[in-house]
């Protein structure tokens, strides 16, 4: 008879630092090795959003540990495949003085744990602290290690080399050139320079499961004078490179129009006229919201798109659905588009999204909207980044969906002071 394995004991005994993460990137468990290397207790870590527990070192302007690790975890969620991370610098705070960070270098692998439905249910994050080796190389000598530890390190390096060799071979056999083009196209078309000025804005982009790494959904953030900025999302019918090409043209046109016209309605009018000349652009949808930080107004207009949601701290949700018009290019003659205004209070959160977030086959859209608002009501205290991850996880979409998804989350704050 095969003895029953105590997997909790196995996890606790692992010599490598390991975390178990939910699909919302909240820490579900940490083994003693991880607690020892980070100086945190298991009780301190469990239940925390990973990137609230481990932020970038604010004293290091080049710190990119959060962005690099987050990108790896999202690759695991979208692909359902393990993701190997190279050597990276990710400083951690000293246990007794959380304001002071200590230099740390790591290698890591993020491994999905699939549920009964074949979707990612958990992620195992296994890391190795390489700080001593990195610092030793700087001074041209290696630290002394025991023969057993040296053998273990050699075995680990050999295993990693074999894994990388296997992955490289798979990549060569998986239409590498097409994938490189797709990734480059995605990055170029979704590049949003103004986003860097908005730490309280989070964006997400998930192509449909089984699709290439590009899709017809998009997001954009545009800064305007006098303490105003716009956020927008849009959706082109179809998937893959064809839809992505149309998406790129429409997104660029809307971004340019936004900088030259008074408001969202006029910007979508320009975009609708432009869409008539683009093959594949008819029936595309979009919504844009102008955020006026001084007057605390949301000015919006929609071209056939699902309504944005304004989430209040008490969990109540308002649908911004008072300025909805047909999709881009749907009317044979030009008609001015409607525009509506809503107020917001500091602490509210604005969510824009494409229909892949709410629509399910054989289900009425109202059911999807109800599911969305009910889920948002449980996320009122989250930061924009945490809310974006939690929303996808709680809607069962962290590993992707049958349709493309683009989403923008804006934590609305206080009126900015004049410079």
- Contact residues for 30 (Cβ-Cβ < 8 A; gap 6+): 18, 19, 20, 40, 42, 45, 46
Q: With CA atoms as reference, report the closest residue to 327 among 304, 354, 353.
A: 304
Alpha carbon 92 to its chain centroid, in Å, reads 22
Q: With CA atoms as reference, report the closest residue to 390 among 219, 218, 204.
A: 204
Q: How far apart are CA 4 and CA 51, in angstroms?
A: 35
Instruction: Decide which of 60 and 188 is more confident.
Output: 60
> Which position has the token pair 């610092």?
135
Alpha carbon 302 to its chain centroid, in Å, reads 24
Kindly compute the dihedral angle of the four CA atoms of residues 183, 188, 192, 196, in this order, to the nearest 10 degrees. 70
- pLDDT surpassing 50 at residue 418: no
pLDDT tens figures, 344-367: 999 999 999 999 999 988 888 999
Q: 126: which strand partners?
A: 18, 109
Q: What percent of the chain has pLDDT over 70?
A: 84
Instruction: Decide which of 169 and 204 is more confident.
Output: 204
pLDDT tens figures, 248-292: 899 999 999 999 999 999 999 999 999 998 988 888 999 999 999
Q: How far apart are CA 72 and CA 63, in angstroms?
A: 16
Q: Is the dihedral of CA 380, 381, 386, 389 positive or negative?
A: negative
Q: How far apart are CA 226 and CA 37, in angstroms?
A: 47
Identify the pLDDT of residue 417: 41
Identify the pLDDT of residue 117: 86
Q: How far apart are CA 345 and CA 412, in angstroms?
A: 7
Which range, of 89-93, 305-309, 327-331, averages the lowest pLDDT?
A: 327-331
SS3 122: strand
The terminus-to-terminus CA distance of the chain in angstroms comes to: 74
Residues 293-313, mean pLDDT to the nearest whole number = 97
Q: How far apart are CA 193 and CA 259, in angstroms?
A: 14
Describe the chain by its helix, strand, coil percentages, rounded to 5.
Answer: 35, 25, 35
> Which position has the token pair 């909805």?
324
- pLDDT surpassing 70 at residue 302: yes
Q: Is the dihedral of CA 367, 371, 376, 377 positive or negative?
A: positive
Identify the pLDDT of residue 238: 79
Q: φ, ψ for residue 313 (rounded to 5)?
A: -60, -25
Identify the pLDDT of residue 206: 84
Q: How far apart are CA 217 and CA 359, in angstroms?
A: 15
Identify the pLDDT of residue 416: 46
pLDDT tens figures, 281-299: 888 999 999 999 999 999 9
pLDDT tens figures, 363-401: 889 999 999 999 999 999 999 999 999 999 999 888 766
CB atoms within 10 A of CB 296: 17
Tally of CA atoms within 13 A in the half-sphere of 190 that contains its CB:
24
- pLDDT surpassing 70 at residue 104: yes
pLDDT tens figures, 137-195: 666 555 555 555 555 655 565 566 556 656 656 665 655 566 556 666 666 667 788 99
Q: How far apart are CA 208 and CA 402, in angstroms?
A: 5
Identify the pLDDT of residue 156: 62
The Cα-based distances of 372 to 99, 108, 236 in angstroms read: 37, 34, 22
Residues 217-225, mean pLDDT to the nearest whole number = 94
Identify the pLDDT of residue 419: 36
Output DSSP code: residue 87: E
Q: With CA atoms as reference, report the closest residue to 111 among 52, 56, 35, 163.
A: 163
Tokens of 220: 């954009």
Tokens of 49: 């959003």
Q: What percent of the chain has pLDDT over 90?
A: 57
Mean pLDDT, all residues of the chain: 86
Q: How far apart are CA 118 and CA 121, in angstroms?
A: 9
Tokens of 301: 């207009």
371 exposed, middle or buried (CB, 10 Å; 0-12, 13-18, 19+)?
Answer: middle
Identify the pLDDT of residue 130: 86
């Amino acid at each position: 008879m095969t003895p029953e394995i105590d997997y909790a004991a196995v996890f606790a005994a692992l010599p490598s630092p390991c975390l178990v993460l939910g699909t919302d990137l909240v820490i579900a468990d940490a083994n003693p090795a991880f607690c020892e290397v980070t100086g945190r207790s298991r009780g301190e870590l469990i239940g925390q959003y990973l990137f609230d527990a481990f932020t970038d070192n604010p004293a290091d302007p080049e710190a990119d540990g959060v962005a690099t690790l987050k990108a790896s975890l999202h690759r695991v969620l979208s692909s359902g495949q393990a993701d190997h991370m190279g050597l990276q610098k990710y400083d951690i705070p000293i246990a007794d003085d959380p304001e002071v960070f200590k230099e740390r270098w790591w290698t890591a692998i993020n491994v999905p744990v699939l549920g009964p439905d074949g979707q990612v249910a958990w992620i195992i994050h296994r890391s190795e602290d390489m700080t001593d080796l990195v610092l030793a190389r700087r001074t041209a000598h290696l630290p002394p290690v025991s023969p057993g530890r040296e053998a273990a390190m050699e075995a680990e390096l050999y295993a990693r080399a074999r894994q990388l060799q296997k992955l490289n071979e798979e990549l060569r056999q998986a239409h590498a050139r097409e994938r490189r083009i797709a990734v480059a196209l995605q990055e170029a078309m979704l590049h949003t320079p103004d986003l860097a000025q908005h730490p309280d804005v989070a964006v997400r982009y998930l192509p449909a499961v089984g699709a290439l790494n590009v899709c017809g959904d998009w997001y954009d953030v545009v800064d305007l004078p006098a303490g105003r900025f716009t956020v927008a999302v849009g959706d082109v019918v179809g998937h893959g490179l064809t839809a992505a090409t149309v998406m790129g043209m429409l997104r660029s046109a809307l971004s340019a129009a936004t900088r030259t016209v008074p408001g969202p309605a006029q910007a979508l009018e320009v975009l609708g006229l432009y869409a008539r000349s683009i093959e594949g652009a008819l029936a595309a949808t979009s919504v844009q919201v102008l955020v006026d930080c001084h007057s605390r107004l949301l000015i919006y207009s929609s071209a056939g798109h699902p309504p944005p949601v304004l989430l209040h701290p008490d969990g109540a949700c308002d649908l911004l659905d008072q300025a909805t018009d047909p999709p881009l290019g749907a009317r044979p003659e030009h008609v001015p588009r409607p525009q509506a205004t809503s107020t917001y209070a500091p602490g509210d959160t604005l969510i824009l999204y494409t229909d892949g977030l709410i629509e399910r086959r054989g289900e009425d859209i109202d059911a999807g909207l109800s599911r969305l608002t009910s889920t948002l009501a449980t996320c009122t205290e989250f930061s924009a980044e945490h809310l974006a991850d939690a929303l996808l996880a709680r809607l069962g979409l962290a590993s992707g969906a049958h349709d493309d998804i683009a989403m923008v989350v804006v934590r609305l704050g206080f009126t900015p002071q004049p410079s």
